[in-house]
Amino acid sequence: MELGKIEKWFMNRPKHAKHVITRAEKLFRLVDVKEKQNLLEVGCGNGAVSKHFAKVYPLTVTGTDVDSEQIKLAKESIDGIPNVRFLEADATNLPFEDNGFDIILSFQVMHHISNWLDALKETRRVLRPKGYFIYADLVYPKLTAKIGKMFKHNYGITTLHDLSSFVQKNGFSTVHSSLSKSLILNHYEAVYRKNE
């Protein structure tokens, strides 16, 4: 789902990018990074995080987003960063071969995708065995999710139970997880490793 104008304004602010990079770096430290590995950022927006990782680490970085305006922004100012590319792509139908990435990053994206489970399946498909999936997003408490699912919506309504069930059924191990609770929405972050 493409973001609205207000959401894009918020997401494209340098302060927001700095905040996301700081959080992503914290989780990235839990990953065994090796030279020349491939990193995919699903829902890269304006590309700030992908560009950061391409500059700081010896990785080949690909950023994807469904929003053509965001991809256009991402492609700006990549001169001097030869190891990054950006593609317009739907997270539920990624244009990559199976097992093509060593690390996949998804930050605050899945709640924008109504069929988020399909996006997670695609993430698993393109992640190599023993690869890492770095995830951070909103998860709904059970009651809030139950109410939300009664209405037609364009957003993904995910509970921690739903996510944990996917992880368990699809051969992931949890390297790290953290849940910050609030009354209506919780924030969850994790580093998973694909077992096979």
Domain of 86: which CATH number? 3.40.50.150
pLDDT, averaged across the chain: 88
* Residues 91/159/12/69 CA torsion (nearest 10 deg): 30
Backbone angles phi, psi at 109, to 5 degrees: -115, -45
The pLDDT-based confidence of 151 (bands split at 50, 70, 90) is: low
Strand-pair partners of 137: 188
pLDDT of residue 93 exceeding 60, the answer is yes
State pLDDT tens for residues 13-66. Answer: 678 789 899 999 999 999 999 999 999 999 999 999 999 999 999 999 999 999
Residue with tokens 């991402």: 74
Q: Which domain holds residue 25?
A: 5-194
Residue type, 61: V
CA distance 5 to 19: 20
User: HSE (CB half, 13 Å, CA atoms) of 83?
Assistant: 16
The pTM score is 0.89
The tally of domains found in the chain comes to 1
Q: Which position has the higher pLDDT, 25 or 141?
A: 25
Contact 89, 66 (CB under 8 A): yes
CA distance 176 to 186: 17
CA distance 34 to 27: 16
Contact 102, 38 (CB under 8 A): yes
